[in-house]
Amino acid sequence: KELNDYISPFDNWKIVRDAMRQIVEDSSVIKDTTKQRRRRSSDVKKVNTGCIPFLALYLSDLVFNAALPSFIEPASQPPSLFQLPQQPLVNFQKHRTTAAIIKRVIAFQSL
């Protein structure tokens, strides 16, 4: 009986409730920062006023994109009557990415 005076099931669960409440609060902070980061990046894309872009970011994007192959090996062809020589295929994704980066730089020049 003396031990029951100090311990009750409600008090035991209080620790668990407090811990769960803290976890929920911490996760909401993480979600808020993720939302803020997404909002910030979308706001930057919407900006049409003058600003000075950090050109090194665009240059590093171009350098990484330049490391990609310009041509890729074709997949195996299905058997057909005419066997065509397999030629490398143009990597259009690389060229699209390069064009998008240059387009952003030109957009900043016209501001």
Q: Kindly report, residue by residue over 54-67, the tens digit of the pLDDT.
A: 788 888 888 888 99
Higher-confidence position of 19 and 101: 101
Q: Pairing relation of β-strands 71-72 and 89-90?
A: antiparallel
**Two structure tokens written together for 97:** 């990415």
Which alpha helices (H) appear in 8-109, and where do they start and end?
9-46, 55-66, 92-109
Tokens of 111: 């501001």
Mention every residue, 6+ apart, whose C-beta is less than 8 A from residue 104. Answer: 53, 58
Residue 99 reports pLDDT greater than 90: yes
| Residues in contact with 68: Cβ distance below 8 Å, sequence separation at least 6, in sequence order | 91, 93, 94
Contacts 24+ apart (CB under 8 A), 63-72: 65/94, 65/97, 65/98, 65/101, 66/98, 68/93, 68/94, 69/94, 70/94
CA distance 82 to 88: 18
- CB 91 within 8 Å of CB 68: yes
Q: Does residue 71 surpass a pLDDT of 70? A: yes
Q: What is the pLDDT of residue 55?
A: 80
Least confident of 67-76, 81-90, 100-109: 81-90
User: Which pLDDT band holds residue 97 (cuts at 50, 70, 90)?
Assistant: very high
